[in-house]
């Protein structure tokens, strides 16, 4: 599938606007939630937030905006507005999914991404930066946003750069599914999905995946 020029332009406009909207939503998060969130994803050491690389700040903010607090609705889920520009952004943000995505069939400005935690589910994703820099077979832990005419990543994530990291993530996912007494990720509720997300991110941090991070271009 080749995306028409106007879709690429809308993607670029959306990604640019998302940066500002993410900042606005981040300001709405109570500071008391910082430490619990950072602790859950492995970014809290010696009683303080721990950000060894800028990519860690991005994943922390992304988690706070989309998935935190773990027992309540997130800022993205509860945000209300009459602004049609923000409503357009929210349409994809509220249909987000955090998972492991396998990159396949990389083409011009786009990627064929298989959700490895939900077997058989594949998305055509626009991502100018990743389409230029990622190799086929890359596994990326990130958040996918679904809009009516395209999908894109939220802008934060970690490459699953080694077999050892992938093995530890899959092991953690399996143990969590057993604990929840369900057979697949698709059977999890919203609170359990948030906990699973934290498990994945924490393993990425433990393996220092942030040292292998590459920047997206909008």
80: in domain: yes
The pLDDT of residue 146: 92
pLDDT at 218 over 50: no
Q: Is this structure's pTM higher than 0.85?
A: yes
What mean pLDDT do residues 73-80 have?
A: 91
Residue 70 belongs to a domain: yes
- The predicted pLDDT at position 87 comes to 93
Number of C-beta neighbours around residue 19 at 10 A: 10
Q: Which of 54-63, 65-74, 92-101, 179-188 has the lowest mean pLDDT?
A: 65-74
Q: For residue 127, what are the CA distances in angstroms to 70, 117, 147, 186?
A: 29, 21, 13, 25
Instruction: Say which residues have a Cβ less than 8 Å from residue 147's Cβ, sequence separation at least 6.
Output: 14, 91, 92
**Domain hosting residue 126, numbered range:** 5-212
Q: What are phi and psi of 89, to 5 degrees?
A: -65, -45
Residue 28 pLDDT greater than 50, yes or no: yes
- Determine, yes or no, domain membership for 217: no
> pLDDT value at position 217?
45
**Helix (H) / strand (E) containing 110:** strand 110-115
Structure tokens belonging to residue 157: 């994530």
For residues 99 and 115, the answer to whether their CB atoms sit within 8 Å is yes
In the Cβ-directed half-sphere of 8, how many Cα atoms lie within 13 Å? 12
Partnered with residue 144 across adjacent β-strands are: 97, 153
Comparing 119 with 89, which gets the higher pLDDT? 89
pLDDT band at 1 (very low <50, low <70, confident <90, very high): low
pLDDT tens readout for residues 124-164: 999 888 888 888 899 999 999 999 888 999 989 999 999 99
pLDDT value of residue 214: 58
Residue 32: per-residue pLDDT: 94
Residue 218 lies in a domain: no
Averaged pLDDT, 41-62? 95
Residue of 65 and 105 predicted with greater confidence: 65
The helix (run of H) or strand (run of E) holding residue 202 is helix 190-206
Q: Which of 135, 134, 150 is nearest to 215 (CA)?
A: 134
Answer yes or no: is 204 within a domain: yes
Contact 144, 120 (CB under 8 A): no
Count of domains forming the chain: 1
pLDDT averaged over every residue in the chain: 91
pLDDT score for 129? 83
């Amino acid at each position: 599938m080749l995306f028409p020029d106007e879709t690429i332009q809308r993607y670029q406009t959306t990604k640019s606007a998302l940066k500002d909207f993410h900042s606005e939503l981040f300001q709405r998060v109570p500071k008391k939630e910082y430490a619990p969130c950072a602790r859950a994803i492995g970014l809290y050491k010696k009683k303080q937030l721990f950000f060894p690389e800028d990519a860690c700040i991005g994943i922390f903010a992304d988690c706070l905006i989309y998935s935190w607090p773990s027992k309540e609705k997130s800022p993205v889920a509860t945000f209300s507005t009459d602004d049609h520009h923000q409503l357009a952004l929210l349409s994809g943000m509220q249909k987000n999914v955090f998972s492991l995505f396998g990159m396949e069939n990389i083409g011009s400005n786009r990627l064929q991404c298989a959700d490895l935690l939900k077997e058989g589910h594949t998305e055509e994703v626009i991502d100018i930066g990743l389409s230029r820099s990622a190799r086929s077979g890359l596994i990326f832990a990130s958040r996918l946003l679904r809009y009516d005419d395209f999908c894109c990543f939220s802008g934060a994530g970690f490459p699953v750069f080694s077999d050892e990291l992938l093995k530890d993530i899959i092991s953690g996912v399996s143990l969590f599914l057993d604990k929840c007494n369900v057979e697949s990720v698709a059977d999890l509720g919203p609170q359990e999905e948030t906990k699973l997300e934290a498990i994945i991110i924490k393993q990425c941090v433990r393996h220092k995946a942030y040292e292998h991070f590459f920047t997206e271009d909008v």
